Amino acid sequence: MKVKNIDWKVKQKYIKQIIGAILFILAISYASEEFIPGRLQLQKKIFIVVALLGILGWVYKNINHVKNKYWMVLVWFCIPFVLTSFYTILICSINGDQIGTAGQAITTSMFLVVDFFVSIALIILFDKSVIKVMTFSVLGAYAYIILFKIQKVGVGSAVRQLLGKELERNDIGVAVVPLILYYLYIFLVKKNKNKSNLFFTGLLFVVMVLCAKRSAILSLAVGIVMILMTKYTNKNATTLLKIISVLTIVFSFLYVVGIHVGAFDQVLAGKGTLSDRLYVWKYFDGMYEISPLYFGKGFSFVHRYMTAGLGDWMVNHYEYLHNSILQLYIETGFWGFFIWTGNYFILIPHIAMKKYGKNACNFTIISIVSMFAMFTVDNNLTYPLYQICLYCSLYSLYRSEELEQKQEMRDKNGYTFGNSN
């Protein structure tokens, strides 16, 4: 009888994982730009369902007194979104809200929190396999897009579009970066020589190149340089990365100042897309100040302004600022900007270090600095798939570090016990 019960539990486990995998692959496929009428609405509904599963799973684990400290690090990534929403309501109450910024802030924050709980659901569902599930999902999603395109326009046209960089997919193009960085970190720094990980890294890199997302290539390059720095500086790596982390806060602020005073005007003039984006960034010059007395316009103000048709043709055409660093400053203000970046670059790595040790701290800093490199020319702060891949890659590293710490403790206790006899 016991054997039958065990067999059924095993079957339930695999059924649950298969259903979860199908559900998430479907969700990612719909997150991929086009082809399906109403795909954005469907994607949101699927993500909300998965997020609810995550909330229920989290509550269930806490009720049963199963302590899982992983959430305690990851949750700090979405706390700023929630706090900024409340701050936006306050700002709009004081200054007025002619364009509906407060409502947009609440909606945007809600879906960013949904991304977090989707990650929690996937972690509860797949645990140590979550990084592989995310890898298969992203690869499967892009394969789905290519096959759909072939079915629609034929093999020849699909190949030409692929080579002509016409199959750029924002969500997938940036989402592969945290996954690649995870595989490279465990291979180069943790010296996990599993060949399948290298194979996945290669496939993900190919997808990133085919997606033709230049900001993703920049982000990955920064991450790889930091991983190599970690590998070759060894014992001094954590100190060096902490210094880089603080310097990134300074750089981010100076980057905003540089845009405001026109430091990049000559450099980016006539550079195609970057020149157009600079024009959009400069359009907002009169709406913010570089001053401790500047308190921000409220979260999601920039996107709301652009989609409300309040700018000129170029501004309205872009819809997004394509510069998350500048957007953060405009929306959260002088002090809000430093609180937000301080949370990312100082508090979160500190918590990771305290709970899981140096590798966790190092990989957290690498992931965040890499993310901010992308922020300089893109708006991936609100890309759902990117956020989910980031959370899952961090979880996977934290979990492996904790398991290693427990194994070391068991080995140590066993050695001590053996000596006592």
Reported as a single tens digit per residue, the pLDDT across 264-300 is 888 777 777 788 888 899 999 999 999 999 999 999 8
State residue 421's pLDDT score: 41
State residue 320's pLDDT score: 84
Would you say 275 and 320 are in contact if contact means Cβ atoms under 8 Å apart? no
Average pLDDT, the chain: 81
Report whether pLDDT(63) > 60. no
State residue 397's pLDDT score: 94
State residue 1's pLDDT score: 46
* Helical axes 273-283 vs 237-261, angle rounded to 10°: 70
State residue 115's pLDDT score: 81
State residue 41's pLDDT score: 59
From CA 92, how far away is CA 100, in angstroms rounded? 9
Name the band, by pLDDT with cuts 50, 70 and 90, for residue 15: low
Report whether pLDDT(32) > 60. no
Report whether pLDDT(388) > 80. yes
Q: What is the mean pLDDT of residues 35-51?
A: 58
Neighbours of 215 (CB within 10 A): 21
Query: Which of 44-58, 321-335, 371-385 is predicted with the least confidence, judged by mean pLDDT?
Result: 44-58
Closest-CA residue to 104 (of 117, 119, 91): 91
From CA 223, how far away is CA 178, in angstroms rounded? 9
Would you say 164 and 212 are in contact if contact means Cβ atoms under 8 Å apart? no
Report whether pLDDT(252) > 60. yes
Q: Tokens representing 189?
A: 């720094």
From CA 361, how far away is CA 176, in angstroms rounded? 21
Polymer length of the chain = 421
Query: Which of 36-40, 92-96, 144-148 is predicted with the least confidence, judged by mean pLDDT?
Result: 36-40
| Claim: this prediction has a pTM higher than 0.75 | yes
Contacts of 206 (CB under 8 A, 6+ apart): none
The CA-atom distances, in angstroms, between 417 and each of 409, 410, 413 are: 12, 10, 6
Q: Which of 64-78, 327-341, 370-384 has the highest mean pLDDT?
A: 327-341
State residue 370's pLDDT score: 97
Name the band, by pLDDT with cuts 50, 70 and 90, for residue 148: confident
Report whether pLDDT(33) > 50. no
Phi first, then psi, for residue 10 (nearest 5°) are -65, -45
Query: Which of 35-39, 203-207, 366-370 is predicted with the least confidence, judged by mean pLDDT?
Result: 35-39
pLDDT tens profile 109-134: 877 887 888 888 788 778 888 899 88
Name the band, by pLDDT with cuts 50, 70 and 90, for residue 57: low
State residue 314's pLDDT score: 82
Name the band, by pLDDT with cuts 50, 70 and 90, for residue 44: low
Report whether pLDDT(36) > 90. no
Q: How far apart are the first and last CA of the chain?
A: 42
Q: What is the mean pLDDT of residues 217-244?
A: 94
Name the band, by pLDDT with cuts 50, 70 and 90, for residue 250: very high
State residue 168's pLDDT score: 62
pLDDT tens profile 187-200: 999 988 888 888 99
Name the band, by pLDDT with cuts 50, 70 and 90, for residue 66: very low
